[in-house]
Structure 1
Amino acid sequence: MLPYDRDDPGNVYTVEYRTPVGNDAAIKQGAVVVHKVHRIGQSYYSTLITHEHGEFDELTAGTEWLRFLNTNIDGGFQYIRVKVEQVHGKSHSVDLKIATTFRPDICHDKEVRITLQASLSLISHGVRSVCIERNRTTTQGDVDRQFLRQAFFNMSADEVKESILSTDENGDGCDVGYVHRNAFQGDKACVSEDERASIHKENAESHLFLRNNAFFNGADSVGT
C-alpha cells in the first residue's frame, strides 16, 4: 500500500498483478494495474486508475506509472513511481521498483511553517511547529493534525519479513525441507512448512485485522 494523503492513512494506492488465469483469463498477458483507495463519507472506495478515461494502461515489463502528489514549501515535488522491471510468466510473479517521496510532515507550497510558542491555550504534544495557511491563527486542531502527520509512519503496525529460500521457476520442485508457499494462485516461492502454515493462517484471518471497517463498501469503479 502506498499512502498519498497526509491526513488519512486509509487513502492509499495499491498495486495488483493480474494474470490470464482464473477470473482474469480473458486478458492477453500478465500486467500490473494500480488502484486508488479513497474515502467518501464514512466509507472507502477503490478506483482502477490505470483504466481511466476509457484507456487501458496496464503496466507491462519496462513501463512505469508516475503520480505527482503536491509541491513542498521548498519547491520539491512529492510523487509515487511504480516501474515494472520484469515479468515472470511461469511463476505468475513480477519484479517491481517502487519509489515515493511522500512526506506527511512536510509543509506544502501554499502553507507556512509556524513555530509554536509556549501557550496555556494549546497542548503541543511535543510538536514544535505546524504547517498552516498564510495569515491564519494556529488552533489546537492544527497542532493535533501536525502531531498525527509527524507520527504517520511510526504508528504503522505493518512489517514485512521475507523468509523465501528460493523460487521454483522451472517447476522442478523445492529443495529438501522446503515447500511451495502457495500464498496466491501460481505462487512457487519455496519456504519452510512452518512459514507456509503461518502465511495460510494469516490469509484466512486477514479480515479480522482491517483497520478501516468501512473499507471497500461498494463496487470497484472506473475513473479518477
Structure 2
Amino acid sequence: MRADGGTEGAPIRVLIADDHPVVRNGLRGAFADDPRITVVGEAADGRQAVTRACQGDVHVVLMDLRMPVMGGVEAITALRERAPDVHVLVLTTFDGESDVLPAVAAGATGYLLKDASTEDLARAVRAAHRGEAVLAPSAAGRLMGQVRRPAGAVLSARELEVLALVADGASNREAARRLFISEASIKTHLLHVYDKLGVRDRAAAVGEAYRRGLLPTR
C-alpha cells in the first residue's frame, strides 16, 4: 500500500459525472498522464452516475451538482445507500452555501470548484479515495461559519422548498412533480426536516418552521 492511499499497480478508478461533454473531456485529459488515476467511465446525469457507479469498479465519482434527470445531491444520497464504498468528490462552478451544505450532508467526501488546478484535483481524488474530507477554501469557510452559528436547526435550500410546498397543502406527489424529483426524495427530505425540527409529522413541522421564522408568514 502506498502512502497516498492507492495500491501499487492498481490506480484509483474514477467516474466523471457532468452534463457537459467538454467538461468531461477536459477532466479525462487532466488525468491522462497520471498513472495513479484512471477514468473508467462517464455519466451525463445523476441517474447515469448512480447506475454506473453501482457496477462495482468505481472508487471515486467526480460529481457535478446541477445536472438533468437527477441532480448531484440526489445522486449522492442514492450512492450512500446503494454503493457506500464509493466516495464522491463534488466538482462544480457553484460555491454558495445552498450548494455546499446539502452536498456534504448527503455524504460527499469532498467539494472542489472547477477552476482547481490539475495538481489539486489529483490530490483531492487520492484523498477522497482514502476517505479524507477535501473542501475548497471558500466551501470550508462557509461550513465553519455554519458550525459557529447559534445552535438550532439549519434546513437546506431543498428542504425549505419541500416544507414551503407542504405548508401550501401540496401532497408528496404534487411536491415531487413541482420540484422534478421523486416522491421517495420528498419523503427523505421531510424525514430530515422532522429530525432537525424535533417533530413527528407534517403539520408540526410547518408550525415549528413558522415559529422559528424559517418560512415567511402569510
Q: TM-score scaled to structure 2, two decimals? A: 0.23
Structure richer in helix, relative to its length:
2
Structure richer in strand, relative to its length:
1
Q: TM-score scaled to structure 1, two decimals? A: 0.22
Task: Considering Cα pairs closer than 8 Å and 6+ residues apart, tell me whether 1 or 2 has the greater RCO.
Answer: 1
Structure index of larger Rg:
1
